[in-house]
Amino acid sequence: MSRSNGLARPARPVRPGVGRGASDAPPGARRAALPLAVLLAALSCGPPAPPKPNIVVIVIDTLRRDHLPFYGYERETAPFLSGLAAAGAVFERVHSTSSWTAPATASLFTSLYPVQHGVREGFHAAQARGGGGGRFRLDALPEEIETLGEAMKRAGYETFAITDNINISPLAGFHQGFDRFWYTNDAGSRRVNATLREQAERIGSASPYFLYLHYMDPHRPYQRVAPWYEAEPDSLADEIAAYDSEIRAVDAAIEEAFRLFGWERGTILVVTADHGEEFFEHGGWDHGRTLFSEVLDLPLLIYSGEGGAAPRRFAERVSILDILPTLRSAAGAPPVAGDRGIDLLSAVREGAPPPSDRVFLADLRRPPWFGGETLKARIGAGLKFVWTLPEEGSLFDLAADPGETSDIGAARRAEAAEARAAIRAAEEALAVHEPARAEVDLEREQVDKLRALGYIQ
């Protein structure tokens, strides 16, 4: 997959000239009045506030943290992101709230757990649960919750989104707060970047702007992307090689976008994922079936093109829930009391480590093709408890067993029981919003998809 390196940057907005009233004054009066006006402005207003940074969030769907070289992967899957990581803040232990796109991304958008925002499953699962027909009900973000787009809009940003996953679409309420929202469904990073180029002048001329990008690659089915794919004789290894080639393609797409908009200056760039992917570590494949580390652990890279931030790495556990509070802070907006995440901006700018004693929850409603059960997990105090309701659950010592392969629940029953009780107590204490439901008509959806692709108006 080739990328053009000769893209022109979007035109900068033209500063307005002197108003007509000033130009009508006699020349001498203008010369006399200007120093007095400057002096009065200096005395009354003080120094002007620095401009707000542009803010960009990039979600790479289905991206495993341990398949990135700056997290120790041996294959060079992301040379450009590795360069940003060497100059930015990298969080080494990041947890999602689910192993399914819709609930996890809804948590990013709201800083709430899935049991709070109510988006528990996505488009295809809802369609299957509804019998596979053309009409069904889809989980959607409740309108009373302030979303990422709405938070940035309230902070004075012009807001844009380009997504390539049908779960992250207006159907489920993700468009709330965005001035423009373009979406496709698994069209690939080429299509995402084509939309970026088409809209570059409009986005780049906004001051400041917030941009959300959701790349679908490397989601199944994995494409064997030249020139980065190298065939493997073993079938599983070959699937992983294809998966890795898609990561490399997205890395090139992100580099193209970075060069196009000049994000090395005046921009805060966040790169993360919604969930990971299973490669039979616990007997399964894909995602949306377990809450083990291979699907729940995320990358999180925050690059500050504002200047002044040094490269940093943090071993403390953080969450996808922390992204919205961090961006509110970066945009100069006040914190929101209901956020379940915390502000990480002081870590990015000053190196102040996040708290090390936090506890995290995760939740999954398996899709019908994986059985439909509900799973919950709790991570904290060096232990992880994974619970498939109504079973007793499994307990893992994360220090001794980071791969979560040895269940110690039978030997430490009291701690397992405490973890189950703690999950129940934590969820009972959470503020829960009334779930929203969208009525989906597939014929109407096809029309919306064509409109999003630009084929109809």
Q: What is the pLDDT of residues 314-357, one digit of tens each?
A: 999 999 999 999 999 999 999 999 999 999 999 999 999 999 99
Q: Does the fold of domain 363-426 match that of domain 54-352+439-453?
A: no
Q: What is the mean pLDDT of residues 198-223?
A: 96
Q: Which CATH class is domain 363-426?
A: alpha beta
User: How far lies 224's CA from each of 216, 261, 273, in Å?
Assistant: 15, 28, 21
pTM above threshold 0.85:
yes
Give CATH for domain 54-352+439-453. Answer: 3.40.720.10
| pLDDT: which is higher, 446 or 21 | 446
With contact defined as beta carbons under 8 Å apart, do 310 and 304 qualify? no
pLDDT of residue 166 exceeding 60, the answer is yes
Query: Residue type for 384, please?
Result: K
Q: What is the 3-state secondary structure (H, E, C) of the chain?
A: CCCCCCCCCCCCCCCCCCCHHHHCCCHHHHHHHHHHHHHHHHHHHCCCCCCCCEEEEEEECCCCHHHCHHHCCCCCCCHHHHHHHCCCEEEEEEECCCCCHHHHHHHHHHCCCHHHHCCCCCHHHHHHHCCCCCEEEEEECCCCCCCHHHHHHHCCCEEEEEECCCCCCHHHCCCCCCCEEEECCCCCHHHHHHHHHHCHHHHHHCCCEEEEEEECCCCCCCCCCCCCCCCCCCHHHHHHHHHHHHHHHHHHHHHHHHHHHCCCCCEEEEEECCCCCEECCCCCEECCCCCCHHHHEEEEEEEECCCCCCCEEEEEEEEHHHHHHHHHHHCCCCCCCCCCCCCCHHHHHHCCCCCCCCCEEEEEECCHHHCCCEEEEEEECCEEEEEECCCCCEEEECCCCCCCCCCCCCCCHHHHHHHHHHHHHHHHHCCCCCCEEEEEEHHHHHHHHHHHHCCCC
**pLDDT for residue 44:** 52
**pLDDT for residue 50:** 77
Confidence of residue 256 (pLDDT cuts 50, 70, 90): very high
**pLDDT for residue 129:** 84
**Percent of the chain at pLDDT exceeding 90:** 77
- Other residues' Cβ atoms within 10 Å of the Cβ of residue 129: 15
User: How far lies 351's CA from each of 85, 266, 342, in Å?
Assistant: 15, 20, 15
pLDDT of residue 33 exceeding 90, the answer is no
**pLDDT for residue 446:** 60
Spans of all domains in the chain: 54-352+439-453, 363-426
| pLDDT: which is higher, 128 or 308 | 128
| pLDDT: which is higher, 195 or 15 | 195
